Copies of this chain bind each other. A is one copy, B any other.
């Protein structure tokens, strides 16, 4: 390992947050190309499956993390509770903020069909989303945080899979449509709104 790789390793070890290529280059007073080379060397050292620590690229930067092989022992040693899983409501809000950001609470409610106050509050409290100004109607807008990217192992926001991947299949869609039409036809008589 050359000196730049050694220094890069130390910086990633010390920094509590992922460090971008640019900041690594600044701190080491090197070019980004050199740092990328150093990172490649580090990656060899921290090859998946061979070490307890792995080099990861998340939230727009590089960081070291422990391999899941150590999860159980780490829990015994640190007695730090795992981050609680997301409830369905929280996950839905997070998905909407993740894909549509910046997005307001009324908009989240429109899509979910349900007021989303408490789920949004929890996501804010857990640091997964944050406020991001106001819409032109004055509603608070939300976006995801770096912690979100870190905890979900995303290199960047656009590393989220394309949202069309979650669209219902054409068969599901046709099926749903037919059922709706039947419901409509069953009521030829107008009802009161």
Chain A residues within 8 Å of B, Cβ to Cβ: 1, 3, 5-11, 13-15, 19, 23-24, 26-29, 50-53, 64, 66-67, 69-70, 73-74, 76-78
Q: Can you list 9 contacts pairing A with B, beta carbon distance less than 8 Å?
A: A6-B50, A6-B51, A7-B52, A7-B69, A10-B69, A10-B73, A13-B64, A14-B78, A26-B77
Cα A79 to Cα B83 in complex, Å, equals 29
Task: Please state if A74 and B10 are interface contacts (CB–CB under 8 Å).
Answer: yes
Task: Please state if B11 and A53 are interface contacts (CB–CB under 8 Å).
Answer: no
Task: Please state if B77 and A13 are interface contacts (CB–CB under 8 Å).
Answer: no
Task: Please state if A11 and B51 are interface contacts (CB–CB under 8 Å).
Answer: no
Shortest distance between the CB of A129 and any CB in chain B (Å) = 26
In the bound complex, residues from chain B placing their C-beta under 8 Å from that of A5 are 52
Cα A191 to Cα B23 in complex, Å, equals 61
